Structure 1
């Protein structure tokens, strides 16, 4: 049985990425060791961050999909906190209310919640 997943996201500057996720409401911490590695946790979601000098947002960026209870509420809370591109929420044909956020490291965060019936 699978119990959880934690995608590993490449970043150019770990400290900046940890601060960015903190502004988005995540609890963050750096790995206590020689590697430049960190963690961003919110509720049952865990993202791992690895600082990589060779990371190029145009060619090595990641994508993650975050299922949330209320995409509009998350969007409103992120509106003044993000650096990068934040799209407006929209209803999709696949039954979700979702928006996209692309951070300065090129990571695409799709955020969605079920449409009310």
Structure 2
């Protein structure tokens, strides 16, 4: 059956993050350096992009940031620099969103994380040079 499947080329993946307040999320992702565009056809939806990374933001009724398990993993060229930039954003804005400093993992990555105002987790890492 696998041989019957068509071969396609995947271009990218974009997680859809549920958010409590779309305007707050647009401001937050903009502050992190994303280019954010609200979707013309739906006042409850926006697109955030930075480089080849895309995140969709969807205003979800009843989302609880304390129990939200949405997440995405992003490969970057310098996890330490990204963590420093995102920590500055959190310190200089009304967003109290933690960014953890990267650590070396047993699986060869230097990995950090950022949690947005709605509990969405963005893990980021670069490969450790041997």
- 2:38 maps to which residue? 30
> Residue by residue, what CA displacement relative to the aligned partner does 1:35-56 show, whole Å, maximum 9, x if unpaired?
4100100000000000012111
Segments of 4+ moved more than 2 angstroms: 58-61
> Residue by residue, what CA displacement relative to the aligned partner does 1:33-84 show, whole Å, maximum 9, x if unpaired?
2341001000000000000121111333411111101101111111111332
Give the Cα–Cα distance (whole angstroms) in 2 for the partners of residues 60 and 79 of structure 1. Answer: 21
The answer to whether 1:57 aligns with 2:65 is yes
Give the Cα–Cα distance (whole angstroms) in 1 for the partners of residues 42 and 88 of structure 2. Answer: 33
- 1:9 maps to which residue? 17
- Give the structure with the higher percent helix: 2
Q: Secondary structure at the match of 1:48?
A: strand
Give the Cα–Cα distance (whole angstroms) in 1 for the partners of residues 22 and 59 of structure 2. Answer: 5
1:104 Cα deviation after fit: 1.7
Structure with the greater alpha carbon radius of gyration:
2
Structure 1 gap ranges (5+): none
Q: Is the 8 A contact 2:87 2:98 kept in 1?
A: no
> Residue by residue, what CA displacement relative to the aligned partner does 1:11-35 show, whole Å, maximum 9, x if unpaired?
0011110111111111001111234
- 1:72 maps to which residue? 80
- 1:107 maps to which residue? 120
Aligned length: 117
Give the Cα–Cα distance (whole angstroms) in 2 for the partners of residues 100 and 5 of structure 1. Answer: 19
Structure 2 gap ranges (5+): 1-8, 91-95
Q: 1:63 to 1:34 in 2, by over 3 A?
A: closer
